[in-house]
Amino acid sequence: MLNITQQYFERNTMKRNLLLSILFCLLGFMQADLMAQVKQTLVLNSNSPEILQSRFDSDPNTLYTINVSGTFSFTGANNQVRGDAWGIYSVGSSVSATVWPFNSYVNANVTYPIYVLQLPYSDINTYPTDQQMNTIPNLRKNVKTRISPLKHLGFRMDGKPINPRFSGSYEAENSYTFQVQGTGKPFTFNILDSIESVTLERIIPGYSDNIGSLTITIEDKIVQFCDKPVEVRDSNGVLIGLDISVGAFVKDSTAVSGRRNVLENASDLAIFHNIGCDKSSGNPLLSNSFFLCPTSISCEESKEKGVAIAMVLDRSGSMMDFISPLDTRIRIVEAKEASTQFVNRLGPMDEAMIISFSDNSTVDQSWTNNKFLLRNAINNLNPNGFTAMNEAVIRAIDSVRKHPNPNKAIILLSDGGNNRFPDFNAVVSKIKEDTNNIFPIYSIAFGLNKSDPLDQAGLADLKELARLTRGKTFEVYTSESLDSVYKKLTREVINDRCCVVRVPVPPCTGPCDTLRTVKVLYPVNGKIEENEITYKPTCIVSSVEETNVFVHFGDQNEPVSELMPNPSNGHAVLAYEIAQYGNVSIEIYSQEGSLIRTILNAPQDQGRYKIALDLSGEPQGYYSVITKIDGMSIMRPMIITR
């Protein structure tokens, strides 16, 4: 497969480069001043608590590309605690415990890990944790300092750390590029450096010994990436293509979002792909760049008439609880913040209404495009009582059906199952009253307790609402995930309408193939507009990472299973979901079709399950994981590489 793909690219390289040369000749090979203009470049010094801000008020109708690069030390040149815009990635062995807490603590020849690198600034814990202080022998009397990444350490943009929803994770090149919506205010940037002194019992700032700086660039590029590229693989799991979510946005006062995507024809795109690794020699110092020809383009349908959205929010007493064991922030506070930000992203032609529920449901704000009224209704919600979710959904369905706009949806947020009249069958009956004009219900299961039967019944109902209406269900356990979900809904329900461009790419080339770059160029009004994004091909994955947001597509009529990571070193997790009670078998076959082992063959109840697979003793190659759920089979290729 690799040789065939290499031949394909070599055969077409000259043709593509010739086409690209003609394109640039026709456009006069535009100079840099015809590209998107850099709004501002800032240098943020780590030895100062100063808050820098952009020289301009950001436009709420514009997506800005922001890059933050560079490194700095929290503890000077000798005792280095190294950080970048995302988190702390290195701590020197000579760092004194008087200025920095233990990375690990040794007592009676037993080593106890205190915190694990890399350490993102979004980490909500204080290290050492209270549990560590109380359970690790002799730790309390030896602790000099404690750190709280989220409260006191690291880079901040508009008062918040760069989160995995922006940058994914620690980037080895210490450069982070992401897109953010304008707010109508200047962007702000600063670095926090304070530490808790246990002996002095106070927070002490520590800027004086910091070394290094971060460079920030802010651009209002026309070409924008709406999500990170998604890999496309063949039936054997070999990387063969890339789905790039991209748009070329220009301002348009008549559009829902105040902007319009003018990306219409894939043939007008110039796409460069760079692999920082030589395909033939595996030399990481050699760069391999070539031009890509898109094979398809798909854009979402425009909504020039705006969208009618009923926002249904839980205000039961449990909304005063912590979000989950992963996030100890208060549910109602974070729900208000995320939903008001969603309202801020509504376009001038969108309309929304607010319905909330506790012991019963109420219309807190009728249909309007006045954002002030919508935000005010949300901020006035006060949690108490039980959960009349079904009544609220029925009320929302009736209200949305009466709205004349053909583009409509319901966004439902609940932190538990319904425990008031009517039962769920009444909701199903209401949906089935008009099957010719179904609109999607997007349900957010916020902090549901996985061990609470009522919560799990509520989750099942939320998923069924999405399935019946061709919507989606999101399971959320952190504030950051909730914000990410509402941003996804902004793109899906309201305005971004990005295009997905599929391009062929070569398979993984070897150990040095760790980072690739895609640059998109597109002619707009006689100028060449461009932007670029990097992605990490999943060639070799040595650890399992799981997201805390699970997305269930409502139109699926078959069981769901996922294999994470893939490829792997033999250790992976198979996640699967059962819609109803039935027999489940999981078998692993070799590439030749021989049965390697049977993992499971037993009846299981409805729910989501995860099973750890250990094939570390098997030779590298291709395997098939066959999951049979109540007679229906799902095959997932498993690639082992070392």
Q: What percent of the chain has pLDDT over 70?
A: 81
Give the whole-angstrom CA distance, residue 197 versus residue 145.
Answer: 5
Give Cα separations from 403 to 14, 343, 384, 408 (angstroms): 55, 18, 30, 8
Which pLDDT band holds residue 38 (cuts at 50, 70, 90)?
Answer: low
- Residue 106: pLDDT above 80? yes
**Which long-range contacts link 283-290 to residues 24+ away (Cβ below 8 Å)?**
283/512, 284/512, 290/9, 290/13, 290/16, 290/17
User: Which of 235-249, 282-296, 560-574 has the largest mean confidence?
Assistant: 235-249
pLDDT of residue 49 exceeding 80: yes
What's phi and psi for 21, nearest 5 deg? -60, -40
Kindly list the strands in the beta sheet with 288-292, ordered across the sheet, starting from the edge strand earlier in the chain: 288-292, 270-275, 516-524, 527-535
Residue, of 412 and 19, whose pLDDT is higher? 412
Beta-bridged to residue 586, according to DSSP, are 600, 627
Tens digit of each residue's pLDDT (9 = 90 or more) over 547-602:
433 444 444 444 567 777 777 778 888 888 777 777 888 888 886 677 888 888 87
- What's the sign of the alpha-carbon dihedral 476, 160, 335, 366? negative
Percent pLDDT > 90 in the chain is 31
What local confidence, expressed as pLDDT, does residue 385 receive? 95
**11, pLDDT greater than 50:** no
Asked whether the CA dihedral 417, 493, 122, 545 is positive or negative, the reply is positive
Q: What integer pLDDT is reported at residue 2 of this predicted model?
A: 31
Select the highest-mean-pLDDT range: 129-138, 489-498, 627-636: 129-138
Lowest mean pLDDT among 133-137, 315-319, 389-393: 133-137
CB atoms within 10 A of CB 135: 10
Residue 208 has pLDDT above 90, yes or no: no
- The pLDDT of residue 396 is 96
Helix H or strand E segment including 361: strand 361-368
- The backbone torsions φ and ψ at residue 292, rounded to the nearest 5 degrees and listed phi first, read -110, 140
CATH architecture of 558-640: Sandwich (2.60)
> Using CA atoms, how far apart are residues 416 and 269, in angstroms rounded to an integer?
47
Strand partners, 63: 181
Which residues of the chain does CATH 2.60.40.1930 include?
558-640
Asked if 624 and 636 touch (Cβ cutoff 8 Å), the reply is yes
Which pLDDT value is given to residue 300? 54
Residue 47 has pLDDT above 80, yes or no: yes
Q: What is the pLDDT of residue 191?
A: 96
Q: What is the pLDDT of residue 278?
A: 58
In sequence order, the 6+-apart residues with CB closer than 8 A to the CB of 104 are: 111, 112, 113, 114
pLDDT one-digit tens code per residue, 322-362: 999 888 999 999 999 999 999 988 877 789 999 999 999 99
Q: Which DSSP state fits 493?
A: I
Secondary-structure breakdown of the chain: helix, strand, coil percentages, each rounded to the nearest 5: 20, 40, 40
pLDDT tier at 175 (50, 70, 90 boundaries)?
A: confident
Cα separations in angstroms, 412 against 310, 345, 356, 479: 8, 17, 10, 16
Average pLDDT, the chain: 80
Cα–Cα distance, 456 to 575 (Å, whole number): 17
Q: What is the C-alpha separation between 115 and 88, in angstroms, rounded?
A: 11
What integer pLDDT is reported at residue 177 of this predicted model? 79
- Inform me whether the pLDDT recorded for 18 exceeds 70: no
On the CB side of 498, how many CA atoms lie within 13 Å of its CA? 22
Q: Which of 46-55, 94-103, 590-599 is the least confident region?
A: 590-599
Q: Minimum mean pLDDT among 40-54, 90-104, 168-182: which range?
A: 168-182
Q: Which amino acid is at 578?
A: I
Q: Does domain 308-494 have CATH number 3.40.50.410?
A: yes
pLDDT for 279 beyond 80: no
Domain with CATH 3.40.50.410 in the chain: 308-494
- Overall pTM surpassing 0.75 (yes/no): no
Is the distance from CB of 143 to CB of 133 less than 8 angstroms?
A: yes
Residue 158 Ramachandran class (φ > 0 left, ψ -120 to 50 alpha, else beta): left
Which run of H or of E encompasses 356? strand 351-357
